[in-house]
Structure 1
Amino acid sequence: MPMRADAQKNYDHLLAVARTVVAEHGADASLRDIARRAEVGLATLYRHFPTREALLEALLRTTLDELTQMAADLEASASPREALASWLREAVAFVRSYNGVVSAMAAALADDSSALHASCSNLRSAGGRLLRRAQSQGEARHDLDGVDLFALIGALGWVGDQPAFASRAEHLLGVVATAILTKCEAGR
């Protein structure tokens, strides 16, 4: 059933404010602060988003779905090596976009009842398909699977969240990508 116009307006406004607050303060941003900045009561926030995970799922769903679709598009249009490298770069950029999102995503994968579980599982599966495709062509290490790839993405996101390591994050992404992708033999 579609929302009433005023309820949809509140929902959209809450999401816009939440996106700003979570970008500023990370995935553990205060829900009370989100409601205050949106100029609504906490009960209104909870009516739309009964849990923190539900709010994060609403914030992240579009990007998670876009990354999942991007994997499918790359699988159909790019070489296995290029597809995996491009997708890895975009996935790491995404997890760096909100401080603390890695922990929320890891927890969601372990909890089938989490609002984020399906989106995170789909993303992990999409990356796993790209990895297997590259492996089948001899272009990626064979001792990794989709779970490992997702963990590496999370680790690289965490590195970017740490002020002491943030300046090295791009370099470390290159190191990890090089470690995942094997060298192509001459003539290939």
Structure 2
Amino acid sequence: MADRQRADARRNYERILAVAEQEVAAHGGGASLEQIARVAGVGSATVRRHFPTRHALLEAVSAQRIEALCDRARELDGVGDSRDALLTWLDDVIAYCVAARGLATALAHEGDPVHGNSCASAIEEAAKPLLHRAMQAGAVTTGVTVAELVTMIVGIVTVTEHHQDPAASAERLWALAVAGISPVR
């Protein structure tokens, strides 16, 4: 009987996650947990048992994208100009966040986008070498942190989400932010 319950729980989890991916794609980080439960054919308590918080659900929905961004950071580490490598990766983060509704919300966490957030923690660990190398080369102002860069990206993507052209708006604001993090030459 326990094996059947575990198999049912696993199927419920997979069904909830599949529906959540569709709902988050359609409605962003504010997707209704009750709607997810209805479409998945489970009770809202079942959703909350698997995902005790909205943030836990968003982290699960975003896990593959986060891993791809981490892989990209590792791929760019040590390649070419350190500033270009960092900015290429940060551009990728923005593009992913604009394209994958809910990802920016998954990276944000109650005022602290890194600590206590597995998505942001993974991003921070992957990006530290890129940022460190850019700082060592004098290409980025000393003292800038991955958490600060993630916070800027989350803010930019969140603020531009409902613009007529969210990608263009986010890219423009990011260009302005980059001018602010680059040292005066």
Query: Structure 2 length as normaliser, TM-score?
Result: 0.78
Q: 1:81-120, aligned counterparts within 5 Å?
A: 81-96=83-98, 97-99=100-102, 101-102=104-105, 105-107=108-110, 109=112, 114=116, 117-120=117-120
Gaps of 5+ in 2: none
The alignment of Structure 1 onto Structure 2 pairs a total of residues equal to 180
For the residues of structure 1 that align with 2:121 and 2:157, how far apart are their CA atoms? 17
Q: Compare 171-180 and 147-156 and name the one that shifted more.
A: 171-180
Amino acid aligned to 1:105: A
Residue 178 of structure 1 and its aligned partner are, at CA, apart by 4.5
Q: Compare 52-61 and 139-148 and name the one that shifted more.
A: 139-148
2:31 partner SS: coil
- RMSD (Å) for aligned C-alpha atoms: 3.1
Name the CA shift for 1:168/1:55 in 2 (closer, same or farther; >3 Å): closer
- Residue 131 of structure 1 corresponds to 131
CA contact (8 A) 1:18 1:34 kept: yes
Residue 171 of structure 1 and its aligned partner are, at CA, apart by 2.3
Name the CA shift for 1:157/1:7 in 2 (closer, same or farther; >3 Å): same
1:106 partner SS: coil
Q: Percent identity?
A: 33
> Is the counterpart of residue 64 in structure 1 residue 34 in structure 2?
no
Amino acid aligned to 1:142: T
Amino acid aligned to 2:126: A
- 4+ residue runs over 6 A deviation: none
- Residue 34 of structure 1 corresponds to 36
- Residue 174 of structure 1 corresponds to 175
